Structure 1
Amino acid sequence: MASDTRIDQFDRKILALLQADARLTNNDLSERVNLSASQCSRRRQRLEEEGYIRNYRAVLDRDRLGFSLVNVITVTLATHNRDNARRFAELIMRLPEVQEAHALTGEMDYILKVVTPDLKSLSEFVNNELLPHESVQHVKTAIVLETLKENGALPI
């Protein structure tokens, strides 16, 4: 675990608790961390202001909302220059199906985590959004059969 001298064990405990349940009140945190609610409030505010807590969000049920198909897509760019990478990044930012996008070293340039309702939607996404884009040379898709772990929590 990386160490940061600006945060102490109480801050780490607060971060871990909020990561598990962002709805915890300062009173809830106080009981679990053994600090007063006002101290928890000040610490939480500082952690937010200093960027340790970037935002709060609800974790939605993908299946219940009709996005049952999870896809891993690798992309190779047509040319490797700053403008082409910028154009691809702009494309990815406007596509809500893309849950994650990572630039890679090695054979593929990017790996994307994409959610779609079904195979037809995946096909339309690849054929209508990715492949026609000027920055893209090659796309390879894989459908996720089973998700073993997906929580996004940092090991605090």
Structure 2
Amino acid sequence: MQIIDDQGKLFDHQDLAILRILLADSRTPLQEIGKAVGLSTTSCWNRIKRMTDAGAIEGYTVKVDLAKIGYQDSVIVQVTLGSHNQETLDAFGQALQSIPEVLEAFLISGDYDYFIRIAVKDTRDYERLLREKLYMIPGIRHSKSSFVLRTLKKEDTPLTC
């Protein structure tokens, strides 16, 4: 796999190895990363900084088990809008930004306009979210909801750890 930064410099196998380590645990000390990839801590730091500056590393975060903080269910919602002008698309996107339960939203091709992943506590919570938030957004013509029964795979990147 080849990735090129903004200056046209190729990210090499050591860069990708560093990314894999950070994906597994972003708190891994530089000394451990360096030892694992055969580089000094300074070289690792410089590579991480270059990947960050190039936008390949967007930030550091924690993974949360949503069920353990009360969000037992995930719902996939497909939405069709009544109009596709830029103003309607922008307003819909901004409205989704204001709903904390919306985890991901994609403008898609096909029969629906949007694919949205929502975290909810249970079916009653989802019904409340529909009435009080989602269906309050102007322009929705049609929606289809599917509760996730089981997550078979969930990755943030195709790089394997």
Specify the alignment match of 1:20 in structure 2.
24
Specify the alignment match of 1:152 in structure 2.
156
Specify the alignment match of 1:9 in structure 2.
13
Q: Distance in 1 between matches of 2:68 and 2:62?
A: 14
TM-score (norm 2): 0.92
Q: Distance in 1 between matches of 2:151 and 2:2?
A: 27
Identity level (%): 28
Q: Distance in 2 between matches of 1:140 and 1:131?
A: 12
Between the two proteins, the alignment pairs up a number of residues equal to 156
Specify the alignment match of 1:117 in structure 2.
121
C-alpha deviations, 1:20-55, integer Å up to 9, x for none?
111111111111100011110111111111111001
Unpaired segments of 5 or more residues in structure 2?
A: none
Q: CA RMSD in A?
A: 1.3
Among 127, 132, 145, the residue aligned to 1:141: 145
Unpaired segments of 5 or more residues in structure 1?
A: none
TM-score (norm 1): 0.94
C-alpha deviations, 1:124-152, integer Å up to 9, x for none?
11122112211211121100111111132
Whichever residue aligns with residue 46 of structure 1, its letter is R
Correspondences of 1:54-73 after superposition (within 5 Å): 54-73=58-77
Structure 1 outlier segments of 4+, above 4 Å? none
